Amino acid sequence: MKTIIRFLAFLVLISLPLSGCREAPQSRLERIKQAGVIKVGTSADYPPFEYVDESGNKVGFDIELMEEIGKRLGVKVEWVDMPFDSLIAGVQEGKIDCSISAFNYTEERDKVVDFSDPYYTAEDAFLVAETFTGTITQPEDVAQYKVGVQSGTTQDDWLTNVLKMPEQNLFRYDRADQAALDLKSGRIEVMMADAIPAKALAQKIGGLKIVYTGVLSSGPMNIVLPEGDTELAAAINDILKQLKQEGFIDQLAQKYLTE
């Protein structure tokens, strides 16, 4: 009798759905699509790539590009505004799904996150007050001046590790507009940034001018992605390819980046 009962119990068990078994974990892309939201980090202080307009809305080249990517993924973009030097960690720690904020590829960053295919190529610039009386004929000349830079940027890395700026002459800022305001007020003498945002800041704040442009630390811009997440990377890269072929990115450049 016990044998029969055990056999019947066994039949019941094998006929039940395997609800107790662990389901295969969802990929990040699946979770994003199921939630209908992709959390994207940015530092909205870098016009014309990402900034806040007079109505309090995030706008700019990167913002509009990512909104279109979200649309083609079939999800809404939830923007998370963070200091620039917190964005990489935000992606690493899963606080955000990806980040777009005029990022350039570096080997150091590539150790902890992945990058999308490039979507735009940038130059660097040195910005000074219109009253500046110094001379900058080559990039190395800035080492003698008080130089401001946004913390965590490739410009910060270039000034620190390539030019090896004296620490007493290097001033790091959480936000690019803070550096530009200090430049205008005379607290610093030179500011280094991507060329297009530097021009935008000069126009917005006034009393500033560009004295040098060239490729020093900048180059192709990429979206920062979680390390090893090939599925999300493939989806975003496919959309970037479509947008390039359709001329969408060229139209954004014409809208935001032309002088």
pLDDT in tens, 230-242: 999 999 999 999 9
Mean of pLDDT over the chain: 90
Dist. CA 197–CA 202, nearest whole Å: 8
Dist. CA 66–CA 125, nearest whole Å: 25
Give the residue extent of every domain in the chain.
28-121+220-256, 124-214
pLDDT in tens, 69-102: 999 999 999 999 999 999 999 999 999 999 999 9
Q: How much is the pLDDT for 82?
A: 96
Question: Are 28-121+220-256 and 124-214 the same fold in CATH?
Answer: yes
Dist. CA 68–CA 80, nearest whole Å: 17
Q: How much is the pLDDT for 8?
A: 42
CATH class of the 28-121+220-256 domain in this structure: alpha beta
pLDDT in tens, 92-136: 999 999 999 999 888 899 999 999 999 998 889 999 999 999 999
pTM score: 0.72
CATH class of the 124-214 domain in this structure: alpha beta
Q: Which segment of 17-26, 106-115, 197-206 scores lowest on mean pLDDT?
A: 17-26
pLDDT in tens, 133-154: 999 999 999 999 999 999 999 8
Q: How much is the pLDDT for 200?
A: 86
Give Cβ neighbours of residue 45 (< 8 Å, ≥ 6 apart).
51, 84, 175, 176, 177, 178
